Amino acid sequence: MGEPETAVPAQRAVDQRIPAVPGFARRTAAGASKAAKNHGKTLRDQVPRASHATLPPADGRPDAVRAVEESSRGRVPELTPIRVGRMAATPFAFLRGSAGLMAYDLVGTPVTGVEAQICGDAHAANFGLYGDARGRLVIDLNDFDETVVGPWEWDVKRLAASLVLAGREAGADEETCRRAAFDAAGAYRRTMRLLAKLPALDAWNAIADEELVSHTDAHDLLGTLERVSQKARQNTSGRFAAKSTEQGPDGGWRFVDAPPVLRRVGDAEAAAVTEALGPYLGTLSEDRLPLLARYAVHDVAFRVVGTGSVGTRSYVVLLLDHRGEPLVLQVKEARTSVLVPHLEAAGFRVAPAEHEGRRVVLGQKRMQVVSDILLGWTTVQGREFQVRQFRNRKGSVDPAALAVDQIDDYGRMTGALLARAHAHSADPRLIAGYCGKNEELDEAIAGFAVAYADRTEADHADLVAAVRAGRIGAELGV
């Protein structure tokens, strides 16, 4: 009879002795997990899952040429034709370079208001392999130039639409393309439900890469992933340096011009980039400093980067250790995310201005399970940059080059990876409660994806027509 009487006072004594700690969760009842899930379910009344099929009318939106021109402001002017040429290559390539235009369109779509650290540019080509600190290959999201805190739905819809476009480019029929978008949304939903059921620490590190294929039933991709892995293992700083450097008359090593992609820079520009590496060291964990102290800077070059980033300033820095073994760092300009002008209209707060390189680096670390150990940021001549390893065993699947029967497998794999990334910042119980068990959300996302792919094809056609008419300059095939 006495035990029940002492149980409550004892618990109360513990509560008084252990105060609430900022940064940790508050003590809650055992039903907190169920409450989060139920709150997710109530969001369905405010934002029906079927409503995600909606694509707002195109009235008043910027046309393709205007969107490209606006997004080119502040970039290196002579590189704009390369960017336009790459975007004009295919509708999928156009989508890759038009994250800002899609954000404009997404403002009018339904959102639950649940915040997550989002990629902001989660198209199907922005997933890939890279090496961890011990040289093992990891697969995850790998581009974070546009990352912000925002609506998780935007990432899911961009991924789904990109799969439809990649499938069409690969020659898949319309049902296969729609199915890839449907499967990506389904894998996202199922993975979020799995993470919601796990202990917090297990969920954080869930779905190890060796389990990913089985988890997403992507067995048809095994051969492709193995081929990409083999190439990635050879994609190193050493291999790049062997192809892109030479020994100068003074015996030192330097980059070799390979226009328009790689060019050496003048002494003043090289000195500015080199000096910026000092402040960069201050953004790293102190345990990394002895490693970099064993390298000396030998040369700096300007290197053109991928489709969406063409025209931003990007340098490669050649470092050599005491044995002459190279490490190449990339110092890449970090501009304000193209999503920022649209967040407030979608009901999300805009974070106070910060160093854009810091935003990219912290966003990347929040979303990836394992990140580059040399990620940091700096400022070069008043412009903000991120710094990372270059050619860190990076490899990627070209979704537009997949066999038709692999498109849906790739959709499931990327959908699961996206859910894992979002679950690092958003409560998976809340999103899982909203997504639910049935396929209503999957169907809606697939419907949106097909409609948006059609719109992107029309935008691409407008850009191609403008290039042919001479309204906008383009350098094709670069």
**pLDDT for residue 2:** 44
Parallel/antiparallel/unpaired status of strands 326-333 and 383-389: antiparallel
Task: Report which DSSP code applies to 376.
Answer: E
What is the mean predicted confidence (pLDDT) over 89-109?
97
Share of the chain above pLDDT 90, in %: 82
In a domain, residue 242? The reply is no
Residue 326, pLDDT above cutoff 90: yes
**pLDDT for residue 12:** 52
In a domain, residue 189? The reply is yes
Q: Which residue has the higher pLDDT, 14 or 384?
A: 384
**pLDDT for residue 33:** 73
Note whether 375 and 359 are within 8 A (CB): no
Mean pLDDT of the chain: 93
The token pair at 476 is: 């094709």
In a domain, residue 81? The reply is yes
Residue 93, pLDDT above cutoff 60: yes
**pLDDT for residue 119:** 98
- Identify the weakest region by mean pLDDT among 107-121, 128-142, 283-297: 128-142
| pTM, 2 dp | 0.94
For residue range 309-322, list pLDDT tens digits in order: 888 999 999 999 99
Number of structural domains found in the chain:
1
Residue 324, pLDDT above cutoff 50: yes
**What does the buried/exposed string (b/e) look like for 66-99 if buried means 16 or more CB atoms within 10 Å of the residue's CB?**
ebbbebbeebbeebbbbbbbbbbbbbbbbbbbbb
DSSP H or E stretch at residue 138: strand 137-141
In a domain, residue 333? The reply is no
pLDDT bracket for residue 5 (50, 70, 90): very low
In a domain, residue 416? The reply is yes
**pLDDT for residue 167:** 98
pLDDT bracket for residue 364 (50, 70, 90): very high
In a domain, residue 241? The reply is no
What ranges make up the beta strands (E) of 227-344? 245-247, 253-255, 262-264, 296-303, 314-320, 326-333
Domain span including residue 461: 32-233+401-468
In a domain, residue 80? The reply is yes
What is the mean predicted confidence (pLDDT) over 74-96?
95
In a domain, residue 252? The reply is no
What is the mean predicted confidence (pLDDT) over 348-373?
95
Length of the chain: 478
For residue range 29-83, list pLDDT tens digits in order: 556 678 888 999 999 999 999 999 999 999 889 999 999 999 999 999 999 999 9
